[in-house]
Amino acid sequence: MSIVRGSDELKCFLCGGMPNRRDGDFERGATVVDCGACGRYRITEECVEELESPRSRLPHHLISGAVRELSRTSRVDLNTANLQSILSQAPADRDASEKARRLLRAISVSSPALGALVERRAFTQADAYARDLREFDFIWDYLQSLGWTEPNPQSAGALPRSVERITPSGWEELSHRSTSVSDTAFVAMWFDKQTQSAWTDGIKPAVEVDCGWRALRIDLEEHNDDVVDRILGSIRSSRFLVAEFTGHRNGVYFEAGFAKGLGIDVIWVCNEKKINEAHFDTNHFCHVIWTTPADLREKLANRIRATIGEGNYKPPV
């Protein structure tokens, strides 16, 4: 893919705007885009062709929003295999309340303290998964109507809506969304000495210490129930599921599929040496690909914060 500067070809492939930077990647046929609206992502030539095809009905604004949310913690890789997985993390296009919550979360990320003021112009349509500026303003005004944001009490000028802050009710909503269902993350993985350090030094501290959720592994729980019933019941009552596929055990695929069928968020994880062995039913999902337990901890924590948010669980000392 050639990069032609000073022409219409220099654009963001998601929002169509002028990016801060667009360069060819070292990997053949890919481009790295740094867009002020959508975030930083790498996209393959095949993916660009799919997005720009006259027959394509892909909702660019929803993909843009998902990339924006994910890229707050790391660059997003877009290709034809994971495009639908990225899109699946976006809210439904007419779900105004969920779009408002995503915008509220984006505002909270930029608010260093309770009561901090933010400017509306500091956020983009992608922060609200909005189709255009009119929808963005509608969603922002909806936040006010819900009582989750309010104008700066000291601004009585011509643009009272230009500077706002999250209300106590808004902060309560953010906390409530993190803990209303469960404080637990179910972990499906291969129980073997080869993956023990991935658990002790990667997954467990990422989930519990870094992100504030309780990591549940059934083999470490005391119980008198049938193990399958215990697993299915625990998945049903979990906020999300971490599926670590190194070893490609059938049980991990089953548990991830069960959670997916219930509408529970699944975070797909695999060691980079084993990712090529992923089953074709799941290899198109956007996996957290790791090299060392420390790398796993950092990347998994980033993915949890970007897609689930932080919980309030405090692991015992």
Give the separation between CA 132 and CA 90, rounded to whole angstroms.
16
Percent of the chain clearing pLDDT 70 (strictly above)? 82
Q: 110-124: per-residue pLDDT in tens?
A: 876 888 888 888 899
Residues 6 or more apart from 250 whose CB is under 8 A from it?
none
250-255: long-range pairs with CB below 8 Å, 24+: 251/188, 252/188, 252/189, 252/190, 253/279, 253/281, 253/282, 255/186, 255/188, 255/231
Spatial strand order in the sheet of 149-151: 117-119, 163-166, 149-151
Average pLDDT over residues 24-40: 77
Single-letter amino acid, residue 90: A
What number of CA atoms fall less than 13 Å from residue 20's CA on the CB side? 8
Tell me the whole-structure pTM to 2 decimals.
0.59
At 262 the three-state DSSP class reads: coil
Give the residue from 155, 95, 169 showing the smallest Cα distance to 129.
95
Residues 6 or more apart from 259 whose CB is under 8 A from it?
186, 235, 238, 240, 241, 243, 265, 266
Give the separation between CA 67 and CA 89, rounded to whole angstroms.
9
Query: Which stretches within 117-199 are classed as H helix?
Result: 133-146, 168-179, 196-198
Q: Output the pLDDT for position 176.
A: 59
Q: 183-214: per-residue pLDDT in tens?
A: 889 999 988 888 889 999 999 999 999 999 99
Q: 34-46: per-residue pLDDT in tens?
A: 888 998 888 888 8
Q: 143-169: per-residue pLDDT in tens?
A: 999 999 988 776 555 444 567 889 999
Domains and CATH numbers, the chain: 21-87 (no CATH), 96-177 (1.10.10.10), 181-307 (3.40.50.10140)
Give the separation between CA 221 and CA 231, rounded to whole angstroms.
11
Helices (H) and strands (E) in the chain, counts: 11, 12
Single-letter amino acid, residue 40: R
Model confidence at 238: pLDDT above 70: yes
Q: Output the pLDDT for position 180.
A: 42
Q: Left if phi > 0, otherwise alpha if psi is -120 to 50, otherwise beta: which for 262? A: alpha
Look over the chain and give the mean of its residue pLDDT values, rounded to a whole number.
81
Q: Output the pLDDT for position 223.
A: 44
Judge contact between 63 and 57, C-beta under 8 A.
no
Give the residue from 225, 200, 261, 226 showing the smallest Cα distance to 217.
200
Q: How confident is the model at residue 4 (pLDDT cuts 50, 70, 90)?
A: very low
Strand extents, DSSP E, the chain: 21-24, 30-35, 39-44, 76-78, 117-119, 149-151, 163-166, 184-188, 214-216, 240-244, 265-271, 288-290
Model confidence at 8: pLDDT above 60: no
Pairing, β 288-290 against β 240-244: unpaired
Percent of the chain clearing pLDDT 90 (strictly above)? 27
Give the residue from 267, 99, 104, 273 showing the smallest Cα distance to 172.
104
Average pLDDT over residues 270-275: 84
Q: How confident is the model at residue 28 (pLDDT cuts 50, 70, 90)?
A: low
Give the separation between CA 275 and CA 291, rounded to whole angstroms.
11
Q: Which of 22-31, 149-158, 253-262 has the lowest mean pLDDT?
A: 22-31
Average pLDDT over residues 51-68: 89
Model confidence at 138: pLDDT above 90: yes
